[in-house]
Structure 1
């Protein structure tokens, strides 16, 4: 669980995100080559939604990594609950989930929209079994209270 008496700085994230990105690239390529069925809709709307998601992903990543300096906080065993971490518990994963979903929207194949749902499920299960378990072990009730008020990947609307 811990390296040098703190949580792993990278955890399982790079492996999951790499696999998700690879699956997405393959699915989009197969869709563009018409190897898998393509069910198109309004290209302009799909492109706009995709671009917005990609920009949101970039903002989340910048806020989590550069602004919150999460790696320093992990090394110091500090639970970050402010800034972007006050909006979602796992903004780096959310950033990649949004960006990849954005590219899927831009590909304009409605059939591929099942992928972000599957990715959300995979990431949720992975977070519960790894990082969230580690955080509960390290921060106890503080993390449990935080997790009751802040969603994993999608900000609360209300």
Structure 2
């Protein structure tokens, strides 16, 4: 290989373990549904870091096809920042617009997971429906947080497997959310119905629209 950026399997294992533990410290899974959500995120991390430090499969596949058009697409660690390669970014890949945006998305995702967990824990302790904090904007902020972290990683280091996995994981989280909603609806009845009518599931409405709905 052109450098020693790949074949670093201890680094693959270390990064997967660090991010899984880090995510669990924010998400704190308890139920089987929580563990399925965490497992889906862990699978994404395995695919990501295997290519980031193990085997650059995407670079091999695309390099043979697009190498003549995109000379930066090579099997070095810098070459793994695919979006940078495709736009011809020659500066430090960690300072590219894609990478900087990824930092914001990853940090924002973990913050959202943590902030939502605090509100959910408070609501569970008081035996009420979580409707404050992030839950005032969307019904499933923790799933949104996981997806936002994944988007951040895709901005930073997109690969063919993770790009394929992402829409599948969107479906997985959507199904987990629907299952969760059925249980909450049975428990809280009309209170849940009213909440679900005014708060969207995943994508927040503009504040002006939501404020108008709350005044009706």
**TM-score bucket (shorter structure):** 0.7 to 0.9
- Distance (Å, rounded) in 1 between the aligned partners of 2:47 and 2:153: 11
2:57 corresponding residue in structure 1: 35
- Distance (Å, rounded) in 1 between the aligned partners of 2:151 and 2:159: 12
2:18 corresponding residue in structure 1: none
User: Is 1:124–1:152's contact at 8 Å kept on the other side of the alignment?
Assistant: no
Tell me: higher relative CO, structure 1 or 2? Use CA pairs within 8 A at least 6 residues apart. 1
1:101 corresponding residue in structure 2: 151
- Distance (Å, rounded) in 1 between the aligned partners of 2:38 and 2:46: 12
TM-score normalised by structure 2 residue count: 0.58
Structure 1 stretches lacking a partner, 5+ long = 1-8
Structure index of larger Rg:
2
Q: Structure 1 residue 11 and structure 2 residue 31: aligned?
A: yes
User: Is 1:53–1:101's contact at 8 Å kept on the other side of the alignment?
Assistant: yes
- Distance (Å, rounded) in 2 between the aligned partners of 1:26 and 1:63: 26
Count of residues paired in the alignment? 147
TM-score normalised by structure 1 residue count: 0.76
Q: Which has the higher helix share?
A: 2
2:3 corresponding residue in structure 1: none
Structure 2 stretches lacking a partner, 5+ long = 1-28, 63-72, 74-81, 85-92, 210-216
